[in-house]
Structure formats: structure tokens, C-alpha cells
Structure 1
């Protein structure tokens, strides 16, 4: 008799094991192919992930991503599957098409808007109102996985506000693309680990409105990105930022505001690529 009572439980267990893998995978959270796992900070190790196909949104490394500098801290990213992303979107600098996704930071009104166009499907704030924990985004949109790493900002009184803004990371076509936003401090070891590998880095070069050029250059050198795209230049000439880097970095000035990049076309040496308009 006791053995008969076990039969319903065995049937449930067998049904679970026999369930199609894809249906189980849909319940899993996205997995970053760019993120580092901190095992014994400050030393960090790149993680190697093996995930079901539904989560491999950034697997097609032969595809290209188009990046256009729109103005201030706004870039327009177009993915192979047609996802359109505008960074630090404020509604003033209009990208060439309506974005599917916009990211925002609240350091200044030039980095966000509370009245985005109704047709924008995803509006991702880099802050969390009423919470000191900060925003926490893990969103898959088409072929792109979008996540963030919260950072502190200076408020209007000069004091630091914990987790008031975010670095947004876009994983698509085998690339790890990071936008530093309105970064006000050098990053911690934990934040470097959470960010992971960044192939393309969008970095403010104002020389002080975010943070000084020397501090920002240390962040850039630590991230070791292949392609560095300056933005948010106010006041100091771009040459002041470039002077912070040695012979290990190349610099390119482009007459075009757009660049097309793939994992295979990344420069072999770290390159600061100055798009038109910066």
C-alpha cells in the first residue's frame, strides 16, 4: 500500500524530467556573455556560460551593429534584428528613427525626459525612485540583452546620492557595448566585476562635469575596450582627453557620425574613435 501512494509523486517527477527543454528555459533569467564573476576580489575571472538557445541573444558574431552619435550623451544603436536604442535620451536630440528602447540618467535634464514619445516600447531609467538600491534592469529585446550597473551621482547640493544613475550595457551580435552615462566617480572592484568585458565603450570627456579627465582615463584604461567612443564634451578640447593616453592607444577622427562594428571588425589595438559632432 505505501508503494501505491508513491505512484502520483513518481508520475509528477517523470513529467518534469520529460518536459521539453525550451519550455523550461523560458523561465530562466538571461545570462550575460560579457559579465565577469568576482571569485576573490580584487582578482576577477571571466565566466564561461553554456545556456539554452532562447537566452543566447548575442550569439551571431558575424552580424553588424550600427552606432550613430546624435548629440551630448545620446547614441543611436541599430541591431541586426532591427532593435533601435537611444542612450541618455532627453527628447531634444532626435535620433533618425523612433527608438524601440531608450535609456536615461537623471544627473541633469539633458540626460532624461519624463515625457518620452508614446511609441517607445521600453523606457529604462537609470535610477529607482524612492529606493537607495538603484535600478535593476535585465531585459531581452529582440536580439539584444540590456542590463545596468548602478553608480552614485552628485546631487544639486554637492553630496553623493547612492545608486542615482547607471551604466547601461547592451549585449548584441557577440559585442558588449557599454555607456558610462553621467559617471561621477571611479568604479569599485565590485562594479568592474559586474560590468565585465566591454568591447565598445561610450565615455564622457567633459573633463570635470562628470569627473576629471585623469580619473576618467583610468576608468577607460582599466576597462580595456577595443573601441572607445567619446561623448559629452563640454569645454575642454578633445585633445586634453587624448593626452591622458600613451602609445598603447590609437586615435581616429571621423567625418561621419556613424560607425558600423562587428566582433570581427573591432580594432586590434584600443582605438579612441571620435565621431562627427563630438
Structure 2
């Protein structure tokens, strides 16, 4: 009887520990979810996609399933999602919106890409650079949008280089993978492309050298192979950039600063679409 009683006590102890073990410890042991836009490496066969459900309220300005993208100026786009989230990229405070964006992202290569005094009504301010030498690491769900970043190096004064000074921000919403290259100074390597994954919409700086030359930037664009490519930064050199792409790409100049896009409306052939006032 004694061994049976001991066994019963042992099983009861195991049940008690399992039932009352802190939930945070279980959460730490769960496998991390993976972005739906990232390529899944063969080394991680157990990885699973994460999905997000849009809230039921949809603003009248944006049709269901459509994302509205408006070029406000320079490298600042206003992204408006079906769930009512508004995001301003490379936000510097110069280009105002009717109401403060929900989220702003920034990069610090030049003052035209960030501000240290954003509107306090902005709920989420995401710096593309880290603090204390650490790279920025954003992994945020806001409403119907998942936001993450991939860091890259930037040039610094006197020919130097600052590690992880720029972030490529990626916005996953309505089934779309939308990427903003920020102030990209160097061509990407394989590790960057793996971290980025699929990009359906790509916002790319076109300036001939303040970021990268047209030839270098065109190689990045060609490797990413996005369906919709939106140039930004400055217009005078747009023709030099367009000349880098052959008949595999369509090119079009928009009559306005806004485009609405959904997973269903993506062009079957890559399209470089120059919004008004680039």
C-alpha cells in the first residue's frame, strides 16, 4: 500500500505543478510566430504563420480590403488601412495630416527623415535606430497591421559607417506586404533579403546618390521583385532610375499623390508607379 500511496502523491504533485505553473513561463516556451511575409527557411520546418483579424469598423475613405497610400512629400507616405490605422513613414513633422497618425516611423540619416519632437497625440513613434549601440527591434501589432523592421547600416561623417542606423520598415495588412526602404545607403545581402521576405509594395528612394546610385538601387529593386514600386525622395533623377529597368517592368506616372491597392488589384507585371510630387 505504501508504494501505491507514494505514487498517488507523486502524480498529485505533478498535476498541481502543471495546473498552477505561471502562464508567462509557458508563453516563453511556445515557438515564436513568424511574419506572413517572411520567407520560411528550410532550417525552421516547424515555423508557423501569424494572422491578424481586422476590426469590424472600416472608414468610409478606404474600401474594405484596400490600403490607401498617399505620398505626402520626400519620403513620407501616409498609409491608411481598412481597419482605420494610419501610418506616416520617415515622419519629420513637416508634412501634416488632418489628424495625427496612429503610428509614425523614422530614420535618422538626415533631419528630413525624423523629428525628436513628434506630436504627442501620435500613439506609436518607432525609431529606425536603436539606443546604446543596440539595433532597433520593432515587432508591433496595431489594429489590423503588423509592423516590423530590418536594420541596415548608414554612412557617417568623414567616410565612416554607422552600424544599424537605418531601418527598412515592413507593414503587413490586408494580406499585403508593404516595405519602406528608408534612407538605404548600402546594397542588401542575403541575410537582409531573408529577413525581409516578400514585399508586394516597395517604397524606394530615387536620388542618384544621397542614398545609393540608380544602378545599385535598381539591383535591390530587381532582387525584391515587388509587384508595385513607388519611388520617393526626389523627382529630378527619376528618369535615370526608370532607365535601369527594361520591358520586364511597366512604368507609369500618376495624376495624383494617392493609390489604393489590395491583394486582388496588384499588377501581374511589376509596375513602377510614380506618384505626383515625388
TM bucket (normalised to shorter chain) is 0.7 to 0.9
1:100–1:247 distance in 2 versus 1, CA, 3 Å:
same
CA distance in 1: counterparts of 2:76 and 2:156, whole angstroms: 21
Structure 2 unaligned regions, length at least 5? 57-63
SS of aligned partner of 1:176: strand
Q: Does 1:81 align with 2:77?
A: no
Contact 1:199–1:225 at 8 Å: present in 2 too? yes
> Deviation of residue 56 (structure 1)?
2.5
Structure of higher CA gyration radius: 2
> Deviation of residue 252 (structure 1)?
1.1
User: Aligned pair count?
Assistant: 262
- Counterpart selection for 2:6 from 2, 5, 11: 2
For CA contacts below 8 A with separation 6 or more, give which structure has more relative contact order.
1
Contact 1:38–1:190 at 8 Å: present in 2 too? no
CA distance in 1: counterparts of 2:72 and 2:31, whole angstroms: 35
Q: Does 1:228 align with 2:224?
A: no
CA distance in 2: counterparts of 1:46 and 1:74, whole angstroms: 37
CA distance in 2: counterparts of 1:224 and 1:47, whole angstroms: 27
Structure 1 unaligned regions, length at least 5? none
CA distance in 1: counterparts of 2:47 and 2:241, whole angstroms: 34
**CA deviations over 1:225-252 (Å, ceiling 9, x no partner):** 000000001642x111100001000011
**CA deviations over 1:50-104 (Å, ceiling 9, x no partner):** 54xxx425799x7110000000000000001100000000001113431000000
CA distance in 2: counterparts of 1:46 and 1:10, whole angstroms: 32
> Deviation of residue 24 (structure 1)?
6.7
RMSD across aligned positions (CA):
2.6
CA distance in 2: counterparts of 1:113 and 1:28, whole angstroms: 36
Contact 2:33–2:49 at 8 Å: present in 1 too? no
Contact 2:54–2:83 at 8 Å: present in 1 too? no
CA distance in 2: counterparts of 1:15 and 1:105, whole angstroms: 45
1:68–1:46 distance in 2 versus 1, CA, 3 Å:
farther
Contact 2:91–2:104 at 8 Å: present in 1 too? yes
